[in-house]
Structure 1
Amino acid sequence: MSSASVVLKTDCDVVRFSIDKPLDRNAPLAKGEKKSKRVRMSKRAKRNELRFYRLMAKKKMNSPNPEVRIRYKLQKAKRKEAWLIEKLRKFDVPKASVNVYDPEILTEEEKHYLKRTGEKKKMYVPVGRRGVFGGVVLNMHLHWKKHETIKVVCKPCKPGQIHDYAEELAQLSRGIVIDIKPNNTIIFYRGKNYVQPEVMSPPETLSKAKALEKYKYGQSLEHTSQFIEKLEKELEEYREYVARYKERKEDASRSTAVDT
């Protein structure tokens, strides 16, 4: 692509266009002009810079002042927390515009019957540390191909998390929650007019590998947040201790001054 320039000239009320010569980028520079060069760090300079940062970190970790050590750990933990939050944002699946889920209305007799039949089933769909992902919904639809009800067992499960799982699975699978057991078991009913969908694994869910990766980042974030709270508490306690120590020292100096 040429870099020619178009110049508009108005001589004697007459408009004329003229095309200048294209700029030659490979042409030699005029006297006094200097070509800008990109400065690159050598491997040795990079190594020295890393060594400097490591020495500074080691110096802070081995500092005789406890406040310096705690503040360094706190700063490092907060950087890790921000990095983990940024990583977890990549696993946020944009939810497609889903129609309003309107489950069927069942009578108490039907619920009781479905609950008893669901409890007798030996087969179940597990929800493990990965949580709810596409494979769980796929297994539910495969079970519903031959059975009306299915058990979903959640292990491990935090207190109150079973209800979130039940709501999410009902929305994704279009099933009906019949009962939630105290042993973290949910009984689902496929519905009277159930039709197996063409795509049994919803597109707005994570894959098995990504769900595991998200779980690991989430666990790391949880532990890092707890560690930050612990460090902040330690720092506060140390500052209170220093303040009390200074007060005692001042009181002791005042008492000695009065005695003299």
Structure 2
Amino acid sequence: MEPGALCLSSPLNTPSIQRSLMIGHHNNLAKWLHPRYMSNASIELNTNRDVVRFSMGKQLGKNEPPTKGKKAFKRVKMSKRAKLNELRFYRLKAKKKMNSPNPEVRIRYKLEKAKRKEAWLIEKLRKFEVPKAPAETHDPEILTEEERFYLKRTGEKKKNYVPVGRRGVFGGVVLNMHLHWKKHETVKVVCRPCKPGQVHEYAEELARLSKGIVIDIKPDNIIIFYRGKNYVQPKVMSPPDTLSKAKALEKYRYEQSLEHTSQFIEKLEKELEEYHEHLDRYRKSKEKLCASSG
């Protein structure tokens, strides 16, 4: 203390009383604070050597577990050479199976590969499944036998037709039907190429999409449609629940590949079965020879 300085002593100047006042003030302040301003951080109060110090700890989330003792898994990135070596290993493994002297190993390898391809194609075809729109209230018109005969003869004589090719039924086919119905009552739908029995599926699908009436189905895969007496051309002539031209072609290619793969699997299974039968016959003949010689 400097000489001549005035020293005032008060009971409030003692360290213990000051510390109690500060803590009491902090408690009163906490009562008035809104919960949004409160946090779950840890606060530590140190009063060493009559000095008040606050230290804030790390804030932890309510559902956040402590991260002590856990190590983050770091994925090792493969180099280009390692990837090439891995691919080379798989190629050599496949080549070894293909050139195996055992026919069963070769057949089983081809069969596994074909089944993997079949599963992949089925997964691809699922992407082309379009959910059908809810059926609208449609009152089908009742035609007499005379009207049907007249419309059938009219449709046969007229040259206007709509082709259904390898893409099958898609939005463009229905659009063409409505464009033909703008000037003609009937329209022919020519399905080529067409599998046996597939023409009836096409007729049912086109009748649902175009709201037309099937008059006749010819043996040469020709369907005659009638637009109806109270036909009104819709605003959207291509239904939304159909595929586009490009998507329909892509779907057709996947279907063709799936068909050929399924046939190849059947062929391999038959070959494997024949090979097992051959082995059984060979063993039986060998046993007979051993029995006769013995």
**TM-score over 0.5 for the pair:** yes
Residues of 2 paired with 1:87 and 1:20: CA distance?
Answer: 54
Check the 8 A contact 1:5/1:20 in 2, yes or no: no
SS of aligned partner of 2:94 = helix
> 1:57 aligns to what?
94
> 1:226 aligns to what?
263
> 2:283 aligns to what?
246
Answer with 111-120 or 225-234: which moved more: 111-120
Cα deviations across residues 218-253 of structure 1 (Å, max 9, x unaligned)? 011001000000000000000010111111112211
Moved over 2 A (4+): 4-9, 19-23, 32-37, 99-102
In the alignment of these two chains, the number of paired residues is: 238
> 1:28 aligns to what?
none
Cα deviations across residues 85-127 of structure 1 (Å, max 9, x unaligned)? 0000000001121225442100111111111111111110000
Task: Report whether the alignment pairs 1:111 with 2:145.
Answer: no
Check the 8 A contact 2:131/2:241 in 1, yes or no: yes
Check the 8 A contact 1:5/1:21 in 2, yes or no: no
> 2:40 aligns to what?
6
Check the 8 A contact 2:41/2:59 in 1, yes or no: no
> 1:14 aligns to what?
none
User: Which residues of structure 1 form unaligned runs of 5+?
Assistant: 10-18, 24-31
> 1:139 aligns to what?
176
Q: 1:94 aligns with which of 116, 125, 131?
A: 131
Residues of 2 paired with 1:155 and 1:226: CA distance?
Answer: 23
Check the 8 A contact 1:61/1:72 in 2, yes or no: yes
> 1:213 aligns to what?
250
Residues of 2 paired with 1:104 and 1:57: CA distance?
Answer: 63
Residues of 1 paired with 2:160 and 2:59: CA distance?
Answer: 77
1:1-260 pair list within 5 angstroms: 6=40, 20-22=57-59, 36-99=73-136, 101-257=138-294
SS of aligned partner of 1:6 = coil
In the TM superposition, residue 165 of structure 1 has moved relative to its aligned partner by 0.5
Residues of 1 paired with 2:39 and 2:86: CA distance?
Answer: 46
Residues of 2 paired with 1:173 and 1:49: CA distance?
Answer: 54
User: Which residues of structure 2 form unaligned runs of 5+?
Assistant: 1-37, 44-55, 61-68
Residues of 1 paired with 2:293 and 2:152: CA distance?
Answer: 81
Residues of 2 paired with 1:86 and 1:122: CA distance?
Answer: 41
Q: TM-score, normalised by structure 1?
A: 0.86
Which residue identity does 1:207 align to in structure 2? S
Cα deviations across residues 122-176 of structure 1 (Å, max 9, x unaligned)? 1100000000000000000001111111010000011111111001000000000
Q: TM-score, normalised by structure 2?
A: 0.77
- Say if 1:75 and 1:35 are closer, same or farther in 2 by CA, change over 3 A: closer
Residues of 2 paired with 1:6 and 1:208: CA distance?
Answer: 61
Larger radius of gyration: 2
- Say if 1:5 and 1:87 are closer, same or farther in 2 by CA, change over 3 A: farther
Residues of 2 paired with 1:174 and 1:166: CA distance?
Answer: 11
